[in-house]
A and B are shown apart, each in its own frame.
Chain A
Amino acid sequence: MISIAGLRKSFGAAIVLNGIDLEIRQGEVVSVLGSSGSGKSTLIRCINGLEKIDAGKITVDNFDVSKPRELSEARKRSGTVFQLFNLYPHMTAVQNVALAPVEVLKVPRKQAEAEARELLRSVGLSERADAYPAQLSGGQRQRVGICRALAMKPSYLLLDEVTSALDPEMTAEVLSILANLAKGGTTMVFVTHEIEFARSISTRIAFLDKGQMIADLPTKEFFSDKGMALPRVAQFLSKMRKD
């Protein structure tokens, strides 16, 4: 379980997250929605320990991410997929996927690369396994990014606006993979602007506004009268749907 309690984070004078409480249990797909600047990405960066939190507590399977000793255990349990892919440009797709298993989990290189190829095949990239990131399209890069996270066999997948840098066609190819993962029971925290997609795969929706979580509802309720009763949510949804 990922448990977030009373999380506060500010950058200088700007308060980005102001008292967030959220629990994500095994098997859930929680989408985090909200306007730009509402703190969604920062929330992910706090869970994986890239940002130091100012107050509150985040635990991943009871490992406290603000304690350096426990952070490495917490990180082993969660895999992050980034908005801008963040692949290692000097490594091929296979090498990108196999690096962390070899270095962190001490999997023998041959085995790690065989597993990496298998993962890449499962997302339709067996032909491109030996290509460098610069030779791949955006959608292909993000699929490698997803494989890289899955290679660590994480209990939780943290997805930080993974389709924001992609055009609609490439977005569709990445989302179909995520939909399969969700069906397969992968636990996900999904920060996104893809509302319709979030609706189709999420078990729960969390809505952030100006650093505060103003809704945390089962998906059905969020998109029903109950969610619409919240003015900020109604406003957000109507605006997003017009686009």
Chain B
Amino acid sequence: MRYDQFTPYDLVLLLQGLGVSLALFVSTTLIGLVIGTLWAVIRFYRVPVLAQMVAFLAELLKNSPVLVQLFLVFFGLPAFLKINVTPTEAAVITLSGNSAAFIYVIAVSAIESVGRDQIEAARVFGLTRWQILRRVIAPQAAAFAIGPLTGLLVNQLQVTSLISVIGVMDLTKVGNILNLRTLKPFVVWTVVGALYYLAAKLVAHAGARFEKRLRAHTAWKGL
């Protein structure tokens, strides 16, 4: 016996699924930002051994499919390291690592984009490495990175849909369930797609506003 009509409760289910997707997206983005930026700073200061390890790890994460990484974490960790992970944990670990690897690439080029001459100026006026990083490099690197970062995040939001395959109740998984129940794929996936679209637009919009603020110094105000 199968109820094949849509009910108002389905909307609640969809919104719950969207909530799960967004929560995973936000948390893995924040973790990815912290780790990716830290990696970039390690590389900027050419920390011996660590810098090479970071570069190697980022290469691995960038050049293999997220789905494969997800399976390795979800099935591999329990099998080989005897660490049990829940689907949500596996999703957080995988997506954070993947975001970190791409954010690392953006952060490295953003830091490199800051002119050496200003860094020299800051040095001769006696600023410490940390002060130079915080006051001179970071604000400009952020302004440089925000564009590519927004693009990456819009993509990472869509990538979260992959975690539905290990049973996380995200938007795609809810769509899958509704689809199997109602057998109206065109309606279900259109609604699911529209929700992803709206969420992605929101991310892009926030990124654009943030970019405008960070790039205030390059805005032409006339003489």
- CB proximity to B under 8 Å, residues A33-74: 48-50, 72
A-chain residues with CB within 8 Å of residue B223 when the two chains form the complex: 135, 137
B126 at the interface (CB under 8 A from A): yes
Contacts A86-B120, A90-B140; A100 near B127 (Cβ below 8 A): yes
**Given A82-B117, A88-B136, A90-B143, A132 and B123 contact (CB-CB distance below 8 Å):** no
Which B193-210 residues have a C-beta within 8 angstroms of A? none
Decide yes or no whether B218 CB sits under 8 A from chain A: yes
Chain B residues near A232 (CB-CB < 8 A) = none
Q: Is the CB of A72 within 8 A of B140?
A: no
B121 touches A104 (CB 8 A): no
Chain A contacts of B115 at CB under 8 A? 86, 89
Nearest-neighbour CB distance to chain A for B221, whole angstroms, equals 6
A75: CB under 8 A from chain B?
Answer: yes
Main secondary structure of the interface of A (DSSP, over half): loop
CA distance A152 to B122 in the complex (A): 12
Distance between B135 CB and nearest chain A CB, rounded to angstroms: 6
Contact of A134 with B by CB under 8 A: yes
Asked if B123 and A135 sit within 8 Å, CB to CB, the answer is: no
Interface of B toward A, CB cutoff 8 Å? 115, 117-118, 120-127, 131, 135-136, 139-140, 143, 217-218, 220-223
B101 to chain A, nearest CB (A): 27
Using CB atoms, name the residue of chain B closest to A71. Answer: B126
Indicate if the CB atoms of B217 and A75 lie closer than 8 Å: no
Chain B residues with CB under 8 Å of A99's CB are 122, 125, 127, 135
Give the 10 A-B residue pairs with the shortest CB-CB distance, closest first: A100-B125, A86-B121, A104-B126, A86-B117, A132-B217, A48-B124, A90-B217, A75-B126, A80-B124, A103-B131
Given known A50-B120, A90-B143, contact A134–B217 (CB-CB < 8 A): yes
Contact pattern, A 209-234, Cβ under 8 Å of B = 1, otherwise 0: 00000000000000000000000000
Bound-state Cα–Cα, A80 to B125, Å: 8
A49 and B124 form a contact (CB under 8 A):
yes
Which residue of chain A lies nearest to B138 when distances are taken between CB atoms in the complex? Answer: A90
- Which residues does chain B contribute within 8 Å of A76, judged by CB atoms? 126
Contact A103 B135 (CB under 8 A): yes
Q: How far is the CA of A131 from the CA of B222 in the complex (A)?
A: 10
17 contacts between A and B (CB under 8 A): A75-B126, A78-B124, A79-B125, A80-B121, A82-B121, A84-B117, A87-B121, A88-B122, A89-B118, A89-B140, A89-B217, A89-B218, A99-B122, A103-B127, A132-B217, A134-B218, A137-B223
A-B contact number at CB 8 A: 73
Give the interface of A toward B (CB within 8 A): 48-50, 72, 75-76, 78-80, 82, 84, 86-91, 99-100, 103-104, 131-132, 134-135, 137, 148-149, 152
Q: How far apart sit A88 and B140, CA to CA, in the bound complex (Å)?
A: 9
Cα distance A60–B7 when bound, in Å? 81
A158→B120 CA distance, assembly (Å): 14
- Pick from B123, B131, B135, B143: contact of A50, CB below 8 A: B123
Q: How far is the CB of B142 from chain A (nearest CB, A)?
A: 9
In the bound complex, residues from chain B placing their C-beta under 8 Å from that of A135 are: 220-223
A48 to B124, CA, bound (A): 6
Which residues of chain B are near A49, meaning CB under 8 Å?
123-124
Closest to A158 in B: B124
Distance in Å: Cβ of A128 to nearest Cβ of chain B: 9
Bound-state Cα–Cα, A86 to B136, Å = 12
On whether the beta carbons of B118 and A88 are closer than 8 Å, the reply is yes
Q: How far apart sit A132 and B222, CA to CA, in the bound complex (Å)? A: 11
| Of B126, B139, B143, B220, the contact of A100 (CB 8 Å cutoff) | B126
B126 surroundings in chain A (CB, below 8 A): 72, 75-76, 100, 104, 152
Min CB–CB distance B134 → chain A (angstroms): 9
Do B124 and A88 have beta carbons less than 8 Å apart? no
List the A side residues contacting B131 at CB < 8 Å. Answer: 103-104
Q: Is the CB of A88 within 8 A of B143?
A: no
- Write out the residue numbers on chain A whose beta carbons fall within 8 Å of the beta carbon of B218: 89, 132, 134
Bound Cα distance from A99 to B131, whole angstroms: 10
CB distance from A15 to the nearest CB of B (A): 23
Besides A49-B124, A89-B118, A99-B135, 7 new A-B residue pairs in contact (Cβ under 8 A), listed by A number: A84-B117, A86-B117, A86-B120, A87-B121, A88-B122, A100-B122, A132-B218
- Residue in chain A with minimal CB distance to B125: A100
